[in-house]
Chains A and B, each alone.
Chain A
Amino acid sequence: MRIGVVVFPGSNCDRDCVHVLRDVVGQDVVEVWHGETALEDLDAVVLPGGFAYGDYLRAGAVAATSPIMPAVRAFASSGGPVLGICNGFQVLLEAGLLPGAMVRNRGLLFQCRTVHIRVESTRTPFTRGLREGQVLRLPIAHGEGNYYAPAALLETIEEAQQVVFRYCDAGGRVTPEANPNGSLRNIAGVCSPQGNVLGLMPHPERAAEEILGSVDGRWIFESLVACLEARVPVPVG
């Protein structure tokens, strides 16, 4: 499978994503420069973490206006899988490809540590290979990961099963203590109504190899590849 990793000026985790997709999951990977206007023959697109455009104005705000974004939008509309990790999630929110918005962590500080998230929905190509209720141990590293949506939108998202991950404790319980940044309803990741666009704040690419302490992130990528290879249509049933 051919997976594109978009590189914005200021992206930090693009090389990490390329490494995992190519060397751990064994796929063809191409770097897609933000200045391009077309995606060439890709099976999936990843928007990596970092500080695109220095997070000027708002995290992801300027990157959402990049030349490549219309092509990403079109790819998503046609059902193509798009994964936004951390800053990538913020870009998708600002670009309107995912519902809601991010504000500053409740504690105001950048948080770099390991958290647990619970799989809430297996309706996406990225989580189809996982179990509902499965607990994943992944690192977070962000200062603006506090997910927000107005009450009505929040209800819509919940009812449409667009909440894909929630912060939880090691036992899978969604508690206030397990929430590292103040996100409403402990939301750690959401998907689009069709399920092919997913954004999450934790970094699966930093937890895909034993030596780094956890391989739970690997399953997200493996799930995507399995779906692509099996040509599972979107929305994923």
Chain B
Amino acid sequence: MATVRIIITLKPGILDAAGQAVRQGLHALGYDQAGDVRVGRYVEITVADGIAPEDVHQMCARFLANPLIEQWRFEGLDPNVGASPARSLRRPRPEATRQGRKTDRPGLH
């Protein structure tokens, strides 16, 4: 079993109003060092061993993301399995897990 971690953001050129608002908020709190902010979505999927990166790309292209307006990248898969597409695969790195609340639903926050 592996956990693939997918990050989905708006394509460059699409107005990221949420990113702009977050940047303003950071500046208001005194974090002037904060530059450009992009706000996206993070999806974690537990998958069976042997799944190919191309399958994950398909999941993204068909459902998890809207290719017209979003781009994606993911990590967590064994890079030796299946064909490596043009998009880069990051080496998995340890992450602090965060127990907590759903925060990915637009409109509620």
Chain A positions near chain B (C-beta within 8 angstroms):
51, 54-59, 61, 65, 94, 100-101, 103-108, 110, 143-144, 146, 148-150, 153, 182
A92, B69: Cα distance in complex, Å: 16
Contact A149 B15 (CB under 8 A): no
A58, B17: Cα distance in complex, Å: 16
Q: How far is the CB of A67 from chain B (nearest CB, A)?
A: 15
Instruction: List A contacts of B64 (CB < 8 A).
Output: 57
Instruction: List B contacts of A143 (CB < 8 A).
Output: 106-107
Cβ-defined partner of A150 (8 Å) among B21, B68, B106: B68
Inter-chain contact count A-B, CB under 8 Å? 47
Q: How far is the CB of A147 from chain B (nearest CB, A)?
A: 11
A55, B69: Cα distance in complex, Å: 17
7 contacts between A and B (CB under 8 A): A57-B64, A61-B63, A101-B69, A103-B14, A104-B18, A104-B106, A106-B17
Chain B 58-78 per-residue mask, 1 if CB under 8 angstroms from chain A, else 0 = 000001101011000000000
Contact A55 B10 (CB under 8 A): no
Contact B69 A54 (CB under 8 A): no
Chain B 1-45 per-residue mask, 1 if CB under 8 angstroms from chain A, else 0 = 000000000100011011001000000000000000000010000
- Listed residue (A51, A54, A58) with the most chain B CB atoms within 10 angstroms of its CB: A58
Which 3 A/B pairs are nearest by Cβ-Cβ distance? Answer: A101-B68, A101-B69, A143-B107
Contact B107 A106 (CB under 8 A): no
Instruction: List B contacts of A59 (CB < 8 A).
Output: 106
